[in-house]
Chain A
Amino acid sequence: MSAGRPFRRLFHFPWRSREQIRTDVDEEIRFHLDMRVEELVRRGHSASEARGIARREFGDLDEARSTLRLVDDTGERRSRRAQWWDALRQDTRFALRGYARSPVFTVAALATLALGIGANTAIFSVVDAVLIRPAPFPDPDRLVVVWETDRNSGTSHEPASVPDFVDFRERSSRFASLAGFIPRETSFLPDDGEAVRLPALAVSDGFTETLGIQPILGRTFTVEETEGTAPEGVLIGEALWERRFGRDPTVLGRTLRLDEGVYPVLGVLPRGADFGLLQLLSVADYGRSFADGGEGVQVEVWLPLQTRTSPASRESHPMFVVGRLAEGASLDAAQGEMSTIAAELERQYTANTARGVYLEPLMEVVVGPVRPALLLLLGAVALVLLIACANVTNLLLARGAARSREVAVRAALGAGKGRLARQFVVESLVLALAAAALGVALAFGGLELLLLLAPSDLPRLSEAGVSLRALGLTLLVSVGVGVAFGVLPGLQARPNDLQSALRSGGTGAGRSRGRRGAQSMLVVGEVGLAVLLLIGSGLVMKSLWRIIQVDPGFQTERVLKADYQLPAARYPSAIANWPNWSEIQGFNTLLLERAESLPGVESVAIAGVHPLSAGFTNSFVVVGREAESADWPEISIRQVSPDYFSTVGVPLLEGRLPREGDGTTAEPVLVINQAAAERFFTDQLPLGRKIAFWGTPRTIVGVVGNERFMGVTQDAPPAVYLALAQAPATSGSLLIRTTGSPEALAGMVRSMVAEIDPTLAVFGVEALGETLSRSLGARRFTALLLGLFAALALTLAIVGVHGVLNYSVAQRTREIGIRMAMGASRGSVTGMVLGQGMRLIILGVSMGLVGAWLLSRLLRGLLFGVSATDPAVFAGVAGLLVLVALLASWLPARRATRVDPMVALRTE
C-alpha cells in the first residue's frame, strides 16, 4: 500500500490549473444532471419537472461544487509535491549510481571541493569569532580608549596620570561615563600549595558600568569601595571561580589571600569581561604589564583602585582610560572637547607640558591590528575555493563530454530539456552537498589545528567554534557552486544536436572544440589565481625570513627567563627610601647567588623587564643642556644587574659596563644604548656626561649595542640602563645563561625561588628563544597558512593543467594518429602537446603576475623588509609554475607519442 500508488495515474495527465479543475467539476456535475433529466423526460416527466427532480436528488448543488473543487485542488497539489519528490529521489539515485560508476572522478571532485569548503569554513569561523561577532558588551561601538599623547616624544598611546583621569572625568560632557584601570600582577596564595601569579585590574568606580559588564554572581564595587572609604573586596573572573572554587556559589562568603592581604570575594564576572584588554595593553607605549607576559593571559581578579586615597602624581602615567560616548555625541566631538581639556591642563600644570589626548574606538584597538592579516587569509582561502570550483567544473566538463551520448539517448527516448537540466543540477547538488558535509568535517579538524597554531595574541580566539554563520555560508557556497556546475554541463547537454551526438559515438566531436575552449579558460584562470596566492605567500614568507634574519641585538640561545613580582607587604618599596629598599636588595642578592650555584649555569642576571618587554619611559635632561632637553622624547629606562649584558649577549661599544661596586653608596652611573648616543650625543662624546631624571644626575660610563625590545620589527628606541643595585625594582626577570638546554633548568629555578620565598609567584618560565619566537607568532601563523593555501592552489592548478591536456590528447587521438601516419616525429608530437600546455600556463602566469602587481598595495602593510612587488618573488613564482606545469604536461605529451597510428585510425 505505498503512498505513491494513487498518484501514479496522475502522471498521465498534464497538471491541471485551478481554473481547469473548476471547469472539470462543473462539467462532471452538469453531465450528471443532463443525463438524469434526459432519463426522467423519457419516463414522461415534463422538462421543467425533470430538472426540479434531478436537482432535488442531487442535494445542495453549490456546496457540492465548492467541496469537490477544494478536494481536487488539494489532491492536485499533494500529488504534484509527491511527484516532485519522487523525481528528486529518482534523480538522486541516478546520480549516486553514476558517481559510483566513476570512482576516480568522484574521489577527485569530492576531495577538491571538500578541501576548499573545509578550509573556507575553518578560516571563516576564526574570522567570525575575531572580527565579526560583536564584543560581549552592550553597544561596543560607543566605547573609546582615551590615550594621552606627548608631542615631545611623539608617542600617541600613553596611559594617563591618575589626576589627569580625574580631571577628564570632571570636565568632559561628551561621555556618558569614563572609567580607568591599572593592570597589576598579584600573587595569590591558595590555602593549599604554591603561590600563583594572577593578572589583576585595579579599577576606578564606574568601571563595570562603563563597559556594561554584569556580574554572574554577587555584585560589583560600590563607589565607597572604589574611593577607598569602605573596606576592600575583590571580584573574580569566571575562569578562576571554576578552577579554584568549582563554580561554588558560596564563594561569595569566602576570602582570597592576595599579595599578603585577605579580601572578601564580592562577585564573579563572566568570561569575556576582560575583552580586548590584552590588545589594549599591548598597543600602549609603555606600562603593558602582563600583556608582555606570555601565553593565554586573562584577567582573573578586579580590585578597587581607590583613586581618592592613594596619592598620585601627574608625572606617572599608569592609568588606562575607557569611556562610553554620551547619547548623540560623536567621536569627533568628544575628541575636540578632550583636546580642549588637555590644553587647559597643559596651561595649569608643568607636568602636562606637550601632552594631548587621542581617542581611539575600542573595537579598532582590539581588532585593528589583526584585521589585515585575517582578511588576507580569508581572501586567500576564498581563492582556493575558487580554484577548487574551477577544477571541479573542469572535471564535470570532461565527464559531461564522455556522457554526451548517454544524454542524447535519453533525449531521444523523450526526456525533456527541463528534465535533463534538472538531472544535471541534482547531480551537481548531490556532489556539492556531499563535499560540503565532508568539508564541514574537515573544518572541525582544521579549526582545531588553527587554534593550536594561532598566536595567543589573536583576540577572542577561545570563542572560535565552527560557527552557524560559517556553516550557513558553506552551505550557501556549496549549493551555489552546485547550481553553477549544474548549468554548464546542462547547457552542454541540450539535445538540439541530437543526431550528430548519436552518430559520432559519444566523443561529441562537433562540440568538443568549444568545450576545450571553456576548459582552457578555466585552467588559465586557475593558474592565474594560483600565481596570485603563491606571490602573496612568497612575499609574506620572505618577510618572515627577513624578520628572523634581523639581529634583535641580544642572543636568546641557552637563556632561560623567569618573571616575578615582589609583594609590597613583605618587600616594602616606599618612594621616600628608594633606592635603599633593603628587603628587595637582599632578595636580589640572594636570588643571584643561589642561581649562580645551580648546575650548568654560565651567568645570571636580573633585569626589571626581559629583553622583549617594552618596559617604561621617563622624561630626562642631559646636565648642562637642560634647555635643549625639554623638547626631547622620553627615554626608556631599564634596570639591570651587572652581568645582564654578558648573559643576553649585548655588546659593550664604549667605556665600561655597570659593575659590582655600583651600589647605593657609590656614584650613580648608567650606560646608554647606541640609539641614545646617536640621537642625543651627535656632537659630543657621551662618556662622562650626566643624565638626570627622578631628581638624580647619573654619569654615563658606557655605550652598549641596541636591543630591539619594542619587538624585532621595530628599531630600538633610545634607552638607558641603570645599575640594579642603584635602582631596584619591585618586579623583575631572572635571566640565566646555561651551558646546556635552558628548559632543563626550569624546574630547578622554580624550586630555588620557592626556597628563598615560598609564597612568591614565579611566571613566564621559558627559554628566551621561546619568548622571541612567540612575539612573531602572528606573522608565523599568517605565513604558514598562506603557504599552505598556496601549496593547495598550486596542486589544484597543476591537476587542472594535467587534466585538460590529458583530455585534449584523448580527444585528438585520431588527429595525432593521422599526423604520425603522415610522418610526424615523436618530438614534434610531444612539442605540440607541451606547446599547448605552455600557452595556457604562460597566459595564466601573466594574468597572475599582473593581478599580483595590481593587488600589491593591499599587502604592503603586512610586509617587512620586502617590497610588495619584490622581483625575486615574482620571478621565482613564475619560474616555479612554468617548471611544475611543464612536468604536468609531460605525462599527457608522452601519452600522445604512444598513440599507434593504425589503432587510432581504426577506432573511429
Chain B
Amino acid sequence: MSRESLELMQGTLDVLVLRTLAWGPNHGYGISKWIRDRTEGALEVQDAALYQALRRMEARGWIEAEWGLSETNRRARYYSLTAQGRLQLRTEASTWRRYVEAVFKVLDPTPGEAP
C-alpha cells in the first residue's frame, strides 16, 4: 500500500455495498473483501462502519439478512438486495455518475473532451 488511502465521503459506502450486493447475496466479510479488491485498497473502509451501514440499510428496507452457510461451511449472515434496494442503487449510481462528470468538467482543461 504505497498510496495513501482516501477517506470515504459521506453516503459513498451505501452505494458501494448496494453495488456489491447486486452481484448476489453476500456476507459482511465478502462485501468488505470485494470492495477492497476492486479498489485495490484505495478506499479505506472501516469494517465497523461497514456493519453499521448494513444495519442501517436493513432498517430502511434496502437489504435483507438471513443466516446461511459460507463456502467454508460456517454459519454466516448473508445480506441480499430487496427490490427497494435495487431501485435505490439505480438512483444513487446515476447521481454519482452525474456528480463525477460535473466535477471532471471543471477539472478538465479542455472542455468537451472527456478523459
B28 and A32 contact, CB distance less than 8 A: yes
**Is residue A57 within 8 Å, beta carbon to beta carbon, of the partner chain?**
yes
Enumerate chain A residues within 8 angstroms of B28, measured Cβ to Cβ: 28, 31-32
Residue of A nearest to B57 (CB): A6
- 16 CB < 8 A contacts A-B: A5-B61, A6-B58, A6-B59, A6-B60, A9-B64, A31-B27, A31-B70, A31-B74, A31-B76, A32-B29, A32-B47, A35-B29, A58-B48, A67-B48, A67-B52, A68-B55
**Binary interface encoding of chain A residues 22-37 relative to chain B, with 1 for a CB under 8 A from any of its CBs, else 0:** 0010011101101110
Evaluate whether A63 and B48 lie within 8 angstroms (CB atoms) in the complex, with A32-B28, A36-B29 already known.
yes
Look across to chain B and name the residue whose beta carbon is closest to the beta carbon of A61: B48
Inter-chain pairs besides A31-B27, A64-B47, 20 sampled, C-beta below 8 Å: A5-B82, A6-B64, A9-B66, A28-B76, A28-B77, A31-B29, A31-B74, A32-B28, A32-B29, A36-B29, A57-B47, A58-B47, A59-B46, A59-B47, A59-B49, A60-B48, A67-B48, A67-B52, A71-B55, A71-B59
A150 to chain B: which residues have CB within 8 Å? none
Q: Is the CB of B77 within 8 A of A24?
A: yes
A64 vs B77: C-alpha distance when bound (angstroms): 16
A57 to B1 alpha-carbon distance, docked (Å): 14
> What distance in Å separates the Cβ of B81 from its nearest Cβ neighbour in chain A?
13
Q: Which B residues are in CB contact (< 8 Å) with A6?
A: 58-61, 64, 82
B75 lies within 8 A of chain A by Cβ = yes
A39 at the interface (CB under 8 A from B): yes
Chain A residues contacting B72 (CB-CB under 8 Å) are 35
Task: Collect the chain A residues with CB atoms within 8 Å of residue B46's CB.
Answer: 57-59
Give Cα distance in the complex from A34 to B67, angstroms: 17
Q: Which of A52-80 contact B (CB under 8 A)?
A: 57-61, 63-64, 67-68, 71-72, 75
Whether B33 sits at the interface, judged by CB under 8 Å, is yes
> Does the CB pair A59–B48 fall under 8 Å?
yes
> A28 to B51, alpha carbons, bound, how many Å?
10
The smallest beta-carbon distance between B68 and chain A, in angstroms, is 11
Q: Report yes or no: A64 in contact with B70, Cβ–Cβ below 8 A.
A: no
Question: A24 CA to B77 CA in the complex, in Å?
Answer: 9
Whether A1 sits at the interface, judged by CB under 8 Å, is yes
Report the nearest B residue to A58, measured CB to CB: B47
Q: What residue in chain B is nearest A38 (Cβ atoms)?
A: B72
Please give, as numbers and ranges, the residues of chain B lying within 8 Å of A57 by CB-CB distance. Answer: 46-47
Chain A stretch 3-18: residues in CB contact (< 8 A) with chain B: 5-6, 9, 12
Contacting residues, chain A, for B58 (C-beta < 8 A): 6, 75
Name the interface residues of B57-111: CB closer than 8 Å to any CB of A: 58-61, 64, 66-67, 70, 72, 74-77, 82, 84
Tell whether, in the assembled complex, residue A1 and residue B49 are in contact, meaning their CB atoms are under 8 Å apart: no
List the A side residues contacting B32 at CB < 8 Å: 32, 36
Q: Can you list, as one digit per residue, whether each of A644-665 has a CB less than 8 Å from chain B (1) or not (0)?
A: 0000000000000000000000
Shortest distance from the beta carbon of B65 to any chain A beta carbon, whole Å: 8
**B59:A75 contact, CB within 8 angstroms:** yes
A57 CA / B44 CA spacing, docked (Å): 9
Tell me, in angstroms, the Cα distance from A27 to B61 when the chains sit together: 23
Distance in Å: Cβ of A12 to nearest Cβ of chain B: 8
Tell me the chain B residues, 29-56 only, with Cβ under 8 Å from chain A: 29, 32-33, 46-49, 51-52, 55
Interface residues on chain B, size class:
20 to 34
Chain B residues lying within 8 Å of A1, measured Cβ to Cβ, are 61, 84
Minimum C-beta distance from B69 to chain A (A): 11
Q: Which 5 A-B pairs have the closest CB atoms?
A: A59-B48, A6-B61, A64-B48, A58-B47, A59-B46
Q: Closest Cβ of chain B: how far from A493's Cβ, in Å?
A: 34
Interchain CB contact (< 8 A) of B55 among A9, A27, A72: A72
Residues of A within 8 Å of B52, CB to CB, are 64, 67-68, 71
Residues of A within 8 A of B76 (CB): 28, 31
* Cβ–Cβ < 8 Å partners of B74 in chain A: 31, 34
What is the minimal beta-carbon distance from A11 to any residue of chain B, in angstroms? 12
Roughly how many angstroms separate A58 CA and B66 CA in the complex, as a whole number? 22
Closest Cβ–Cβ distance, residue A6 to chain B (whole Å):
4
Bound Cα distance A75, B64 (Å): 13
Q: Contact flags (1/0) for B1-34 with A, using CB distance below 8 Å?
A: 0000000000000000000000000011100110
Q: How many Å from the CB of B64 to the closest CB on chain A?
A: 5
Residues from chain A with a CB closer than 8 A to the CB of B49 are: 59
Q: List the B side residues contacting A9 at CB < 8 Å.
A: 64, 66
**Residues of A contacting B47 with CB < 8 Å?**
32, 57-59, 64
CA distance A68 to B28 in the complex (A): 13
Please name all residues of chain B whose beta carbon is closer than 8 Å to the beta carbon of A64 when the two chains form the complex: 47-48, 51-52
Bound-state Cα–Cα, A726 to B58, Å: 104
Q: Which residues of B contact A58 (CB under 8 A)?
A: 46-48
A180, B113: Cα distance in complex, Å? 108
Cα distance A36–B45 when bound, in Å? 14
- Chain A residues with CB under 8 Å of B59's CB are 6, 71, 75
Tell me how far the C-beta of A748 lies from the nearest C-beta in chain B, rounded to whole angstroms.
85
Shortest CB–CB separation between residue B93 and chain A, in angstroms? 19
User: Complex: how many Å from CA A1 to CA B60?
Assistant: 10
Contacts of B27 in A (CB 8 A): 28, 31-32
Q: CA A59 – CA B32 in complex, angstroms?
A: 13
| Neighbour of A68 across the interface among B51, B60, B66, CB < 8 A | B51
- Closest residue on chain A to residue B60 by CB atoms: A6
Distance, CA A12 to CA B68, complexed state (A): 13
> Residues of B contacting A12 with CB < 8 Å?
66
Q: How far is the CA of A354 from the CA of B55 in the complex (A)?
A: 93
Residues of B with C-beta under 8 A to A67: 48, 52
- Looking at the assembled complex, report how far the CB atom of A51 sits from the nearest CB atom of chain B, in whole angstroms: 14
Of B46, B48, B70, the most chain A CB neighbours within 10 A belong to B48
Shortest C-beta distance, A720 to chain B (Å), equals: 95
Kindly list chain A residues whose C-beta atoms are within 8 Å of the C-beta of B61: 1, 5-6
Q: How far is the CB of A59 from chain B (nearest CB, A)?
A: 4
Residues of chain B within 8 A (CB-CB) of A31 are: 27-29, 70, 74-77
| Per-residue contact bits, chain A 714-744, to B (CB 8 Å; 1 contact, 0 not) | 0000000000000000000000000000000
User: By CB atoms of chain B within 10 A, which of A1, A35, A64, A72 has the most?
Assistant: A35
B106: min CB distance to chain A, Å: 34
Given A27-B75, A35-B29, answer yes or no on A5-B84 (Cβ-Cβ < 8 Å). Answer: yes
Determine how close the nearest CB of chain B comes to the CB of A497; give it in whole angstroms. 38
Which chain A residues lie closer than 8 Å to B60 at the CB level? 6
| CA distance in complex: A32, B49 (Å) | 13
**Please, how many angstroms separate the alpha-carbon atoms of A6 and B65 in the complex?**
10
CA distance A24 to B33 in the complex (A): 21
By a CB distance below 8 angstroms, the chain A residues around B66 are 9, 12
Q: How far is the CA of A96 from the CA of B115 in the complex (A)?
A: 66
Distance in angstroms between the alpha carbons of A178 and B83 in the assembled complex: 83
Instruction: For A35, list chain B residues within 8 Å (CB).
Output: 29, 33, 70, 72
Residues in chain B near residue A5, CB distance under 8 A? 61, 82, 84
| Nearest opposing residue in chain A for B36, CB measure | A57
Bound complex: CA of A700 vs CA of B74, how far in Å? 121
Contact digits for A73-105, partner B, Cβ 8 Å, 1 yes 0 no? 001000000000000000000000000000000
Q: Whose C-beta in chain B lies nearest to the C-beta of A12?
A: B66
**Complex: A481 Cα to B58 Cα, angstroms:** 43
Q: Give the nearest-CB partner of A9 in chain B.
A: B64
Query: In the bound complex, how far is the Cα of B29 from the Cα of A32, in angstroms?
Result: 5
Q: Which single residue of chain B is at the shortest CB-CB distance from A30?
A: B74
A68 to B60, CA, bound (A): 15
Which residues of B are found within 8 Å of A24, using beta-carbon distances?
A: 67, 77
Q: How far is the CA of A656 from the CA of B77 in the complex (A)?
A: 115
Q: How far, in angstroms, from A29 to B51 measured CA to CA in the complex? A: 9
A443 to B72, CA, bound (A): 71
Q: Contacts of A63 on B, CB cut-off 8 Å?
A: 48
Closest to B30 in A: A35
Closest B residue to A71 using CB positions: B55
Task: Give complex CA distance A122, B94 in Å.
Answer: 67
- Chain A contacts for B82, CB-based, 8 A: 5-6
Residues of chain B within 8 A (CB-CB) of A71 are 52, 55, 59
Residue of A with least CB distance to B75: A27
**Docked pose: A521 CA to B84 CA in angstroms:** 58
In Å, the complex CA distance between A507 and B59 comes to: 48
